[in-house]
Chains A and B, each alone.
Chain A
Amino acid sequence: MAEIKSDHILDAKGMACPMPIVKTKKEIESIEAGKVLLVEATDPGSKADIKAWAERAGHQYLGTNEEGDTLKHYIRKASEEEAEGETSFENVVNNDELKQKLSDGVATVIDVRESAEYAFGHIPGAKSIPLGELDSKIDELNNEDDIYVVCRTGNRSDLAAKKLSEKGYKNVTNVVPGMSEWDGDVEKA
């Protein structure tokens, strides 16, 4: 598996319970909402605990990779904006409608979540362009394609869809809610 991108790294290797969680809690307070924190730990118990803690604290537990004795936990800090889930881009489909488009073979899916979120599960064939990189990668998209923009809750994809539309892309649709409730096929890596 290719290296997964993170914005911050916390070294909790060699620490025993409860320290990995104590440190993670402290660290995440200092980072920006929506950013991805990688916690490297060696305590096998940290896996279940980080997941449970993150879910209660409202953060997004993305997943854990094991490299030798090191557990690499990826957490994305909660963002209030996304939680509100308001979208304003007019052209919208729901998850089931996207599934139909995919089976018809006419949809190009752009996943604008962070690459770590993408790595732990995305729609097969979806192209990863994190929202923050959209400006620099916008030329990779074809104006003729039927573009469906997806994120976790429909909020970031709303912003991305607006941006694409402003740049002159004609066939842009926002997928709401997106990956948080996606029950179709997913692939990892």
Chain B
Amino acid sequence: MSFKKLTVDELAKKVVNQENLFLLDVRNEDAFEDWKVESDSFEHLNKPYFDLMDGIEPIQDQIPEDQDVAVICAKGGSSEFVAEQLVDAGFDDVYSVEGGMKAWSEHLEPVKIGDLEGNGELYQFVRLGKGCLSYMVISDGEAAVIDATRMVDTFINFAEEKGAKIKYALDTHLHADHISGGRKIAEQTGATYYLPPKDAEELQFEYEPIEDGNEIQVGSSKIDVQALYSPGHTIGSTSFIVDEKYLMSGDILFVQSIGRPDLAGKAEDWVGDLRTTLYERYKELSDDLVVLPAHFSFKEELNNDGSVQEKLGVLFEKNDGLQVEDEDEFRKMVTENLPPQPNSHQKIRFTNMGKETPDEEEQREMEVGPNRCAVR
């Protein structure tokens, strides 16, 4: 008997389908505390691998014998080591998660959001391990990617399978929690990379500015991607309204929370913009627009089909961040008692500006951890 391997693809299916799994996380306690695989249907146990080097006695009693047990670590090495120990101790259904949390952080799960005008389709790419959400609009052989993560092959291959050519790569803002794939997609496919100009002042490479009122048309069926200037998380933050049905809100508005204004060190300057965007500009939009944010932070934000979306009207009733009538109270909420900033956020911003060019291994390390772009 030996342990079996579990791919992050298979792990993602278990999360989305809410299957039961006993997940033994053998990273050290700080790392586990900071960030782990989130699922209500999983049972978790954290015990660092270095406590299990002489065998699994310290936790033998805590591991179920009649259930699948998967071991996960940072990169997939230590989990094999511990899985081996479990097999030696007589456990049968033991798995090691291939590539560990790093691979988990890179996994993207495509979910169809809906059909668009003509033959158009809209997909959401859920990065379960980190909470990033990217989008692809496909219509008549053309595609636009919005807020792409750095795993660009996933987007390029997906478009190819759908028989579409990526013509546009857009970012709603300059990201601080993850490395954008927009520039790389543009380089590899010949697509045009768009960024709001106010977030692009320090950009070191060619881009097309996208500003309030601009429209981009995808495919001959003319699906509109309409830009709406919505500053607050960053000074350039811009939302996109797709097909007059969907509102891609970037990091301004999430399902259960709102964006934080402090990641470029300008919380006090941007808090007013954030309030105006959420309480005035968004208020003027149709309640029927479906909000598609660039992140989720809590597993409760995942719908049963694995997507993250909610109608704007519902958010105006239920999202705590939209219920604060008093301006001072609002200011306090988004500038005080904020969660820790995302790991390496400054370095990630510089990478997205093209000022730093870390290699792939370094990029992975920079992105370890949760996104932490929200306050609630």
Chain A residues in the interface with B (C-beta under 8 A): 16-19, 21-22, 25, 44-45, 48-49, 52-53, 56
Stretch at the interface among B26-34, B285-293, B299-307: B26-34
User: Which residue of the partner chain, among A16, A48, A52, A56, contacts B75 with CB atoms under 8 Å?
Assistant: A16
B49 interfacial by beta-carbon distance below 8 Å: yes
Contact between A25 and B53 (Cβ–Cβ < 8 Å)?
yes
**A16-B75, A17-B78, A19-B77 known; A48+B30 contact, CB < 8 A:** yes
B365 interfacial by beta-carbon distance below 8 Å: yes
Contact between A52 and B365 (Cβ–Cβ < 8 Å)?
no
| Residues in A neighbouring B28, C-beta threshold 8 A | 48-49, 52
User: Which residue of the partner chain, among A16, A18, A48, A56, contacts B49 with CB atoms under 8 Å?
Assistant: A18
| Residues in B neighbouring A53, C-beta threshold 8 A | 48, 50
Cβ contacts B6-45/A at 8 Å (1 or 0 each): 0000000000000000000000111100000000000000
- In the bound assembly, the distance between CA atoms of A53 and B26 in angstroms comes to 12
| Residues in B neighbouring A19, C-beta threshold 8 A | 77
| Residues in A neighbouring B78, C-beta threshold 8 A | 17-18
**A49-B48, A52-B48, A52-B50 known; A17+B29 contact, CB < 8 A:** no
Contact between B77 and A16 (Cβ–Cβ < 8 Å)?
yes
- In the bound assembly, the distance between CA atoms of A171 and B79 in angstroms comes to 57
Closest Cβ of chain A: how far from B217's Cβ, in Å? 45
In the complex, 29 of the A-B residue pairs with CB atoms within 8 angstroms, ordered by the A residue number, are: A16-B75, A16-B77, A17-B49, A17-B73, A17-B75, A18-B50, A18-B73, A18-B77, A18-B78, A18-B81, A21-B49, A22-B53, A22-B81, A25-B50, A25-B53, A44-B365, A45-B74, A45-B75, A48-B28, A48-B30, A48-B31, A49-B28, A49-B50, A52-B28, A52-B29, A52-B48, A52-B50, A56-B50, A56-B51
| Residues in B neighbouring A21, C-beta threshold 8 A | 49-50, 53
| Residues in B neighbouring A25, C-beta threshold 8 A | 50, 53
| Residues in A neighbouring B53, C-beta threshold 8 A | 18, 21-22, 25
| Residues in A neighbouring B30, C-beta threshold 8 A | 48, 52
Interface centre among A18, A22, A56 (most CB of B within 10 A): A18
| Residues in B neighbouring A16, C-beta threshold 8 A | 75, 77
Closest Cβ of chain B: how far from A46's Cβ, in Å? 10
- In the bound assembly, the distance between CA atoms of A25 and B52 in angstroms comes to 12
Closest Cβ of chain B: how far from A12's Cβ, in Å? 13
- In the bound assembly, the distance between CA atoms of A113 and B96 in angstroms comes to 43
